[in-house]
Chains A and B, each alone.
Chain A
Amino acid sequence: MLNIAFPKGRLGERVRKLFADAGYIFPGLENPERKLIFNNDLNNMRCFRVKPFDVPVYVERGAADIGVAGRDVLLERNPDVYELMDLNTGLCKMAVAALNNFHDNPEKVLRVATEFPEIAKNYYASLGRDIDIICLRGSVEIAPVLGLSDVIVDIVETGSTLKANNLKVISVISELSARLIANKSAYKFKNDLINQIMKGLNTNS
């Protein structure tokens, strides 16, 4: 039995389609409602829906053999897993954004609001810039508007949320997309099944 961790939400729906196109269908997953676990007895697989941020935890600790996680989550959590494939879906960017009229004063400690403290920390460490991280759990765009922070580090997809709040991207930290990850131990003992899935996903991507 191969256990697969799918992210909940929008990315999860895209991943479901990718797997379905590759021939792996989990009955009921297209309309999951409150159900979390779905079986595919034909291929001896089981998938479960977890918070996108938790996918690497399930995989690293072996509760899931493989999973799909955004690169943002992998950069933030830095799990000890195999990153086997770029699924080329869920494309977006990790970026620094600020108010349209923002002027950076390099002598000041930069206040950074973000849901991704590790990514922000590593990025500014690479620039040698002192920062003060303000860790938020959503609606990060509001922080510079209210003067809580100077900039934000956040995921930018179309940029429309930024625009609506008078913000603009000032630098791109990293390109993001969904990745297929695998537990290092499970990869060795369930290699045939995992390779089979990779082949299926590859021919369709």
Chain B
Amino acid sequence: MGKFEEYDFYAKNKQSLISQGVITFTDINGKLMALKPDVTLSIIKHLRDLDNITQKFFYDEKVYRVSKNHNAFKEITQVGIEAAGVVDDYVICEVLELAIKSLNLISNGRNFVLDISNLSVIKNLLPDDFSQSEILNLIAAKNIHGLKKIDGLNQNIIKLVELNSDFDDAIKNLKNIAELENFVRILEILSEYKNNIRVDFSTTNDPNYYNGIIFKGFVDGVPECVLSGGQYDYLIQSMGHKNSKAIGFALYVDLLENIDNPKNDYDADILITYDENTPVNKIRECVKKYRGQNLNIAVQKIIPENLKYKELVRLQNA
């Protein structure tokens, strides 16, 4: 996939997730271009004929954004999937299952969970006025004391955010709520994964982009969510597919860099040193001997000052 799009494309699709932090430049004709801040839009825009079928995509791409914390350009590796067209219970379950399986794979034996919520239900309970985003921020922070201070807030929001996220408890509590009938049915289908699913209505995301099921994945030891996704029907419908729906998720593999890397205390397992009198063939023979053993080998004339090695092999004065 290409690295850039016309900036206009992102400006037009304001409801996409990326409204800020796009890195732009002008091409030789003076047209404003953008380094891709996201992959989903680029995938969606090429879709044709979605009626009555489901199209599925997988991507593994670099995207570019301005990092909010230090105002610097950032390259992010994004791996993800999208399903568009017919998105029924089967497709939703398949995507959620794939999310759980992906987390299982990258967690490398650590604990992991997928938090699941339904944004439409929360959104329907919100007042229509300006304070929506403020309330969503309180919900996302599980800030119950803050929510309780808002006059006239629908108390069901507080009940949902406070809900015990244990799978069985959650299903028991949600079962009789008409708006959540479909949500509960999907959870029940996925009950074989209940140890790794938390029903958590504090899971929020941009309500102008997402609707319906949304989810975030966490791995023990990684401080932020490593997987994020949900249903985003508005975007696909705004691109002319009036009867279509879409769902997808992205994995932020960069975040996994800091865990499970076996601490490498040495720069090289074997350091081989030689001098002018060492025959080249002898060096090659020596290297060959170790290379087959999956060892990290450094070959130098002198011992470099800052190189940490496990074992030294001197080929001088042969």
User: Is A60's beta carbon under 8 Å from chain B?
Assistant: yes
Q: With a CB–CB cut-off of 8 A, which chain B residues contact A84? A: 142, 144
Task: Kindly specify which of A110-118, A148-156, A184-192 makes contact with the partner chain.
Answer: A184-192
A189 to B222 Cα, complex, angstroms: 11
A80 to B140 Cα, complex, angstroms: 9
B110-147 contacts to A (CB < 8 Å): 111, 113, 115, 140-146
Q: With a CB–CB cut-off of 8 A, which chain A residues contact B221? A: 62, 185
Closest residue on chain B to residue A79 by CB atoms? B141
User: Is B94's beta carbon under 8 Å from chain A?
Assistant: no
Chain A 154-187 against B: per-residue CB contact (8 Å), 1 yes, 0 no? Answer: 0000000000000000000000000000011110
A186 pairs with B223, CB closer than 8 A: yes
Closest residue on chain A to residue B198 by CB atoms? A188
Q: With a CB–CB cut-off of 8 A, which chain B residues contact A188? A: 113, 115, 198, 218
Contact of A83 among B113, B115, B146, B225 (CB under 8 A): B146
A82 pairs with B142, CB closer than 8 A: yes
User: Is A86's beta carbon under 8 Å from chain B?
Assistant: yes
Closest residue on chain B to residue A60 by CB atoms? B223
Q: With a CB–CB cut-off of 8 A, which chain B residues contact A51? A: none
User: Is B51's beta carbon under 8 Å from chain A?
Assistant: no
Closest residue on chain B to residue A175 by CB atoms? B149
Q: With a CB–CB cut-off of 8 A, which chain A residues contact B142? A: 82-84
A188 to B222 Cα, complex, angstroms: 11
User: Is A1's beta carbon under 8 Å from chain B?
Assistant: no
B136-168 contacts to A (CB < 8 Å): 140-146
Q: With a CB–CB cut-off of 8 A, which chain B residues contact A61? A: 223
A63 to B141 Cα, complex, angstroms: 19
Chain B 207-243 against A: per-residue CB contact (8 Å), 1 yes, 0 no? Answer: 0000000000011111111000000000000000000
B233-261 contacts to A (CB < 8 Å): none
User: Is B202's beta carbon under 8 Å from chain A?
Assistant: yes
Report A69 CB to chain B, min CB distance, Å. 12
B224 pairs with A80, CB closer than 8 A: yes
5 tightest A-B contacts by CB?
A: A62-B223, A86-B145, A83-B141, A189-B220, A83-B143
Residues on B facing A (Cβ under 8 Å): 111, 113, 115, 140-146, 198, 202, 218-225
Given contact pairs A185-B219, A188-B115, enumerate 8 new A-B contacts (beta carbons under 8 Å).
A62-B224, A82-B142, A82-B143, A83-B142, A83-B146, A185-B222, A189-B113, A189-B220
